[in-house]
Structures are given as structure tokens and as C-alpha cells.
A and B are shown apart, each in its own frame.
Chain A
Amino acid sequence: MIVLLPLSAIFIKTAGLGWREFVAVALSRRALAAYRLSFGAAALAAAINAVFGLLVAWVLVRYDFAGKRVVSALVDLPFALPTAVAGIALTALYAPNGWIGSLLPFKVAFEPVGVVVALTFIGLPFVVRTVEPVLADLGADVEEAAASLGAGRWTTFRRVVLPAVLPALVTGFALAFARGVGEYGSVIFIAGNLPFRSEIAPLLIVQQLEQYNYRGATAIAATMLTASFAILVAINLLQAWDRRKMAAL
């Protein structure tokens, strides 16, 4: 009741909008540019996190080093840190006079690439926490078998480890992506919010609301919700696939 009833309100409200008005708002050039940025930056950030998330999960599961427990706790920071706090911290870091921004030859804050930076921060734990248990469950025996058959370390990783963690990795990617598409708090500070350039879709909804254009806000929200729902269904299918694959191992 808490979840379903309110959500249906969005679609009913959109249905009362009429097709022309819907297209005029939800599919305007400015909205399309915002979707492209939101979905593109989220995909890029999720891809970066898939690579580094796998690396971090591997290091945490396989190796021992000083301070490992602290590092493991730190991975969850984006879950615990409020997004507005993350947003202003990242902006200050990557601003032209910031600790990182002053070292880089190109601008990051107030540019589309800033959106990717914020979404990379937000999405990392989704990948690490999804891959970690699968990697931990993967017995040493299959790797030993591969090694005893003459496979090198890289071949074993590519042919034995990677296929086993791939479903979890894809799930983590999808979770990070879904979160990134809708993310607001951490992005609006660093993005600069220039229309057609660094303006994300959730911000567009807020702007419509601030002009009391509830119908416009709803139309954009319905478009995003449809996309989110499709992603959610895909995640559930992936997880079913993941379970079947693990059961077969």
C-alpha cells in the first residue's frame, strides 16, 4: 500500500495529460538531452564501477593486508553518507581550485564528466557487495583443477573465475546503473546544470515543480519510472539466471 498506491498516481495523472502535451514536455529536446546525460553518465559510471568493483572485491576476498577491515567498512560509505554531503565534497574536490581539480589539465566540476564522477562515487558499493559473496563462495578447488591442468593464472581467471562471477557482476552493474539514473543529491552540485549540456533528468522534474507545472513534472517522471521499472525487471531476471547458474556449479 505504501509503495503501489502512490506510484499508480503518477501514471493516472500522466494518462490524463493527452498525447500531444505529453510529447511536448516529456520528449522535448531539452528533456531528451537530459535523459541522454542521465542514462549515459549512469552507464559509464556503472561500467567504471564494474571494473574497479571487481578489483576491490577480489582484493578484499583473496588477500590479507593491514587495515583490511577499515577498507571494507569504507566501501559502504556511499550508502551511509547523505548524498548532499557527497555532492558538496566532490564539487570542492574537483573544482578548478580543489585538491584534485587543480591537478587535472581539464575541467571536471560543472561539466558532464562531473556527473560521471558523482555517479561513480554513489555506485561502487552496489558492485562490490554483489560480487563479494560469489567470489568468496567460489571454491579453491576449481581453480586448483584448472592450474593442475596447466592453465596459467590469467587463463584461470578469464576462463574459470570470470564466468562464475559474471552474473553477479552484471547484477551489480544494473543496480549501480538504476541508482545512477535517478540520483539527484550528489549530482546537482557538481553538474553545473546547464540546459542541453549538464542537466540531469531528475533536476528537470524539480524545475517543472518549482514552476508549479505538475503535469510536466509528472510526464517526465512517468518516462523515467517506465525506464526504472524495465531495469528492475531486468535485474530480477538476471538474479534468477544467477541462481540457476550457481546451482549448476
Chain B
Amino acid sequence: MSNAVEFERVSRHFGETRAVDSVSMQVEEGHFFAMLGPSGSGKTTCLRLISGFERPESGHVKIFGQNSEAVPPNRRPVNTVFQDYALFPHLTVRDNVAYGLMVKGADKSTRHRQADEMLELVKLTGFGSRKPGMLSGGQRQRVALARALVNKPRVLLLDEPLGALDLKLREQMQEELKSIQNQLGITFIYVTHDQGEALSMADRVAVFNEGKIVQEATPREIYERPRTHFVANFVGSSNVLSPTLSVQSGGPSRWMSLRPEAIRLCDPSNSKLKGTLQNIRYLGASNRLSIRFGEEELSVSLPSTEVAPEKGVQVGLTWEEGATHVMDEDH
């Protein structure tokens, strides 16, 4: 398979701020590629480098193998679903969706037919003659999606498209987006700061921090084998064991990551580590226990069905072989 988008040591600085700092990555055609990171980590700038609203200071952004620097946004085979949808308020929903066809000169009946087909795909049949102002957040989101997809882009860029929706709607839209991507088979590049969203939808995830990609891998690998402290903390708040603690638990003298849900409580006499139960937070499906070892603290996720011990008692921790993962030490 060929690459839809490829970054070759791309940098984009805004004054002193290194928004994107020598980023290299490849997005395979047909993949659902997520760019995950906190705000200001450079992921949105990367998206804008692909859509053409930003130009790299150095390096190359290749779209289907071609250097894109000289190509303006309107001549790229990519379309964007904007964060706040950016629907045209003076046009009806149908005219919004048909806009891309209209500017390319499609006649009225063709573009209205295709727009209505797209509205059907996003389950908004019958909303064509309304104005965007009369729609709910979720419906606007769908219009924005239809408006981008009607142009049959080879790459669809999505900039935190579900950020403004409430939890229930967000989960529903995640499934729909994924199924639309499967159905159309086009490349999705998806920017988000929600790790759950990235893990559940993407084929590949690139984790951004301070303008750089710190890890790029499959969701499972990112979750189970975080390469750095940052990835471990950002993607699902994993525990990080210092080399000292790792040795105590019978591991190597290296920095290690350990998932809270991989840890079990056990009798202190045959445990890997012994610590004091510091705090318990009730999270609904589970309890989050903080356990102290001198200077360090580990969190343990305990299903709510199990009885949590009293605060302040000594507890023993154990885990399966292979639950720990050695990380790059210098991060």
C-alpha cells in the first residue's frame, strides 16, 4: 500500500514557538490515522500543513507522493471537517453540502442530488432546506461531514470534530465515523486530545508533545507499551516505576510502565511490592486506589465488585509476568 500523506522532517515555527518541530511520519492510504496530544502539541498545525493553510518552514509534506508546498488548499485532494464546523450561515444545509460541487461548476440538479445522497449517508434526510442555525450541535457536525465527503476527497482531515458534543452523542458519532470510513475506504486523519477516541477508532496513533511525535504505533502498542513517561501519563494515566522500585519488585533496573488495571491486590507476604493505601477514589465501575511506596505512588484500578481495603493499611501488590514494559529512559 502507498502512503496518502508523508511528512519529511517538517518544521513550522511561530516566532519562538516550535509548533511543529522536525516531524516525520507516514499515513498509509485507507488508514484511520489519529494525531493525539494535549492542546498546543502541534497536531492541529500538522493538519493545517496537510490542508495547506500552513506552509512548512523546512521539510516536505507529500500528498500521494507529490510535494505539496506550491499547491494552494483549493487544489489539494483533501477536505477538512473543521473543529467548530464552519458551516456557511447564509446557505441552507443542502447548499452547504453542495458548495464544493457548485464551485467546481456542477449543475444544480446534479449537485442537489449528490448533496441529498450525502445527507442520507449522515442520516439527515429531509434537513436540506434548513439553515445551519436551526440545527443542534450533533446535526451540524453531520452537515460538516457531508459537506466534506461530497467532494470525494482521497484524504479526510478531521480537527477535533466531536469536541463540542456531549458524551453520549460523541460515542455514537465515533461509531458512525468509523463505519463511514470503512464504507468509503478513504484515509481519515483525525486530530484529538481524547485518548479514548484515538484508541477506539484509529488504525495508527501518533502521540504529539511539544511539536514532536513521541510515539507512533497501533493503539494497543501505545496503550500497552508506552515509550516515554509522557505517553504513559497522557494515554490512560499509566503507572511509571522508577528503576529503584522496579528492582524492589524483582524487575530490571530500568524505568518501567505498568497499567493500573494490570495490578492485583494480594497478601503482603507473597507480593511483588508492599505499600500503604493512601487514598481511594470511587469512579463508578471501579475504585482507583493510590498506594504509597516512600517517595513514589502507584495507582491501582479495582473493580467496584471487589471490597476495597481500609485507608492506611499495608497492602501487597502483584501482577502477571509481562504486564510491565521497559521504557526509553531518557524521557
A, B bound: no
